[in-house]
Amino acid sequence: MVYHNGQVSDDTGKERFGNRIGMQTYSDRMHADPDLPVLTVAELAELVGEGIGALFPGDLWVEGQVSNLHHARSGHTYFDLVEPVDQPGAAPTALFSVTLWKGNRPGIERTLAAAGGLALEDDLVLRLRADLRFYAPRGRLQLNMTAVDPAFTLGQLAAERDRLLRALADDGLLDRNAGLSIPLPPLRVGLVTSVGSAAHADFATELERSGVGFTLLERDTRVQGEGSALDVAEGLRVVASHRPDVIALVRGGGSATDLAAFDAEVVARTIAAKPPVAIQGTKVSVNYARDHSTADSLDHMATWQAGMFQPADMAEAFAAQAEGREGDFDDLLPFRGGLADGV
């Protein structure tokens, strides 16, 4: 068989037209770059690792947002550190895989907890210290986390909260709920919380113990963790559509990241825009001042100032209104408006 100018001839004299472009391209490439290195996968991985080590010989600080957090049975923790995006649900523009070895994990968890009850969770914005290495078995770059800067995270949380409050004020929503009135007594009570939780039990038990004929409209709602902000907002809309006199939005205490849903813009705008009243109840485990959230700034009761620290206190205040004992709770119940519309 003879090859000539991209044509193939066999010994019968018949010619077949070959893949001229492919053959020429491959041939030209081989002849044009005779000195190109030929490496095995292992050799290439070794060179990449050495190059990364030369560029980043020591630790570095990297800022980003936690995503896809996974605690392995081995005790190690794995997650992606992504560049935060403004649009919810949008794909990250950049990410690195992060490994937190089990030997470093307790110290980092203690550092975060001591700085205002933070915890390593999805969506947390943080600044971590790590060494950058190429992990050859997976063919990827990897950050090995060794420390964290909690002051950065606290600053980011505070800055985002301030930005949201300014945006709500500019839109005329910050005091809108405070200007709404509550029917007295509020006998038709909506409840948005995690049904079966201690906060739910405290609130419902206190209403039942009062002996007053309350109608309680409950909506089981995820109040922490992934997707909780959207679920809280939907819970408020669902309960509001049943036209209650007041909506109680209650939660237990927890870390700053546990309560992140109550700083979410979708929750804040839902609270600010709804006609029936919604109330934020807090059950504070350590320092209630640290639990003050954006949602607290929008509801009709200054719970963090007025001394109403637990869901049971709020329910007792409702009972006092129904029993004509509102004067006993003047210091706890500065009704100044409502919250939520839609249920």
Torsion angle of C-alpha atoms 157, 162, 165, 171, degrees rounded to 10: -120
For residue 257, what pLDDT band results from cuts at 50, 70 and 90?
low
pLDDT at 305: 33
Cα gap 10→47, rounded to integer Å: 46
Cα gap 336→148, rounded to integer Å: 42
pTM for this predicted structure: 0.59
Beta carbons within 10 angstroms of residue 4's beta carbon: 9
Cα gap 123→117, rounded to integer Å: 15
Q: Which two tokens stand for residue 320?
A: 């006092």
Average pLDDT over residues 126-145: 95
Average pLDDT over residues 25-49: 79
Measuring CA to CA, which residue among 146, 96, 151, 156 is closest to residue 124? 156
pLDDT above 70: residue 170: yes
Which residues lie across from 141 on neighbouring strands? 134
The DSSP code for 123 is T
Measuring CA to CA, which residue among 263, 283, 267 is closest to residue 232? 267
Task: Check the CA dihedral 139-56-121-87 and report its sign.
Answer: negative
252 vs 60, higher pLDDT: 60
pLDDT at 256: 62
pLDDT at 35: 81
pLDDT at 126: 94
pLDDT at 272: 76
Q: Which two tokens stand for residue 207?
A: 């209403």
Average pLDDT over residues 125-144: 95
Condensed to tens digits (0 to 9), the pLDDT of residues 289-326 reads 335 565 555 554 433 333 344 556 666 666 666 665 44
